[in-house]
Amino acid sequence: MRSKALRFPSVAKLRHNFNFFASVKKALALLAISISLGLVWAHPFYVSMTEIRHNEKANMLEVSVRVFTDDLEKQLASDCNCKVDMSRKKDSTVLAGHLKRYVPQSLRFQVDGKPLQLVLVGFEKEEESTWSYWQSIQEKKIGILQVTNRLLYQTQPRQTNLVRFIHAKGDVTRQVQFPKESLVF
């Protein structure tokens, strides 16, 4: 019997390499950022997390995007005017197609003014959220990384998107909140 992670062979490897939210320090940092955003825990909140790693050896950016599944389903359904259910494993090819169309329109990267194209590596649903994994081939050096992130803005005007950039010189997390959409690292 094949496991869920084997559906996309490189997802398990990427997940291991990225090692998201593995330490208490990262969880506390996310909690501190959420509190600083003025989020009230008793009310619903809308947040995504995008992590970008510069893999110098492979000359690429490795990108992982985590969003609440119900928010993503609502957005994808709005775009395709169809019903979207991220938990339907048999529809994984169709769901991948929806992600390939939506995410690159809402999450864009430029290195030193040159646009980068995202390629979907895989995705998986985990409890209440959906992870999607992307790669972008680029040049060895990154001078200025500009990120445009308007994930879920079309269906959720209270959306906040956290963006974390991990590279040789450090680890920086920033946020964009509707209507703001651009960050520079």
DSSP β-bridge partners for residue 148: 108, 182
- The span from the CA of 120 to the CA of 64, in Å, is 10
Top mean pLDDT of 19-33, 47-61, 81-95, 138-152 is at 47-61
Q: What would the mean pLDDT of 20-32 be, rounded to a whole number? A: 51
H or E segment at 54? strand 47-55
In the prediction, which pLDDT does 35 show?
53
- The span from the CA of 86 to the CA of 73, in Å, is 7
In the prediction, which pLDDT does 39 show?
42
Q: How confident is the prediction for the chain on average, in pLDDT?
A: 80
* pLDDT tens profile 163-182: 999 988 889 999 999 899 99
pLDDT confidence band for 183 (50 / 70 / 90): very high
Residue 161's region, left for phi above 0, alpha for psi from -120 to 50, else beta, is: beta
- 19: containing domain: 4-184
Please give the tally of structural domains in the chain: 1
In the prediction, which pLDDT does 161 show?
96
In the prediction, which pLDDT does 43 show?
39
Residue 106 clears pLDDT 90, i.e. is over it: yes
